Amino acid sequence: MKNITVIGSGTMGNGIAHCFAQNQFNVLLVDLSKDQLKKAITTINKNLDRQVAKEVISTQQKEETLDRIQTSTVLENSLKEADLIIEAVSENITVKADLFKKMDALTPAHCILASNTSSISITKLGSFTKRPEKVIGMHFMNPVPIMRLIEVIQGFKTDNDTLSQILTVSKALDKTPLLSQDYPGFVANRILLPMINEAIEALFQGVAGVSEIDQIMKLGMGHPMGPLQLADFIGLDVCLSILNVLDEGFSNLKYAPCPLLVNMVQAGNLGVKSGVGFYDYRVDLKKPTVASQFLSHGD
């Protein structure tokens, strides 16, 4: 496997492209938006600079990594040479279904179609193609260059050859692949999202403020980041989509998204990517303040 195409260059796509390129793969990064691609390359550049400053890589390795990444907005011209595609577009089944049909039609027969989906069924994505045995979940964690885990999801028809190639490629990225079967939320989000939703519910019911909830989970449970801030980093729209999949998939009220989360997504307060979520990131991304709607006595 040499030629990797990453489709979607948002929060996750740029990190995935970065990791593949840093580990000697040729990467084509595709997005509908030219501006988003520019932003992605700027982010990759900054993250590589950070690695150079920490002496994880040399300046030459940084330049070589950047040289291995090409960008494109035209899907049709981009897929003929691909050995592996990682789909990292928005968490929306209609968008992904359309893309899987196109990828199936435009790529060579040996090409594996992987999705970075947080929760959508891999079996369902496979059903939009004529090669469900080559469709697999490759769920990277955010921020991709730092987090070691790849949750690998085997769909109902994913064959063992595809699985073994993905385990090998994951290790070539210096990541740890761990296997999950294809059920709603897989493992990571089936456990994480109910916790985030409960934190939002506690805020909604006035049990405590944003800072208190996050600090209690940080200081009390040793979590590196509170659940509300983590939701901001994931993107509140992504959190809502995952909860909807869990809610629908299990028909169990415990997964129903908190109305406050629904309201915030409808208002466009999506967290870090929109500038405001539970915190306000517009002045200083590294030192966010509690968003004005949620200010309480302690803030």
Determine, following the binding rule CB under 6 A, whether residue 185 of this chain makes contact with ligand NAI. Answer: no
Q: Please identify which of the residues 116, 119, 151, 269 carries the catalytic annotation.
A: 151
Stretch that binds ligand NAI, among 47-55, 111-119, 202-210, 250-258 (CB under 6 A): 111-119
Q: Write the binding mask 211 to 250 for ligand NAI: x where contact by CB under 6 A, - elsewhere.
A: -----------------------xx--x------------
3-state secondary structure of 151: strand
Residue 151 annotated to the active site: yes
CB atoms within 10 A of CB 160: 9
Residue 189 annotated to the active site: yes
8 A C-beta contact, residue 99 and residue 121? no
- 114 vs 291, which CB is nearer to ligand NAI? 114
> What token pair was written down for 195?
């916790």
At a CB cut-off of 8 Å and minimum separation 6, what does 42 contact?
none
Q: Minimal CA–CA distance to 25: which of 74, 80, 90, 70?
A: 70
Q: Please, what is the minimum distance in Å from the beta carbon of residue 299 to ligand NAI?
A: 26
Stretch that binds ligand NAI, among 134-142, 190-198, 215-223, 252-260 (CB under 6 A): 134-142
Residues 138 and 87: their CA atoms lie apart, in Å, by 9
Q: Classify burial at 213, counting beta carbons within 10 Å of its beta carbon; exposed 0-12, middle 13-18, buried 19 or more.
A: buried
3-state secondary structure of 199: helix
What residue is closest to ligand NAI based on CB?
10
Residues at the contact surface with ligand NAI, assessed by CB under 6 A? 7-13, 30-33, 36, 88-91, 95, 99, 116-118, 139-140, 142, 234-235, 238, 273
Active-site residue set: 118, 139, 151, 189
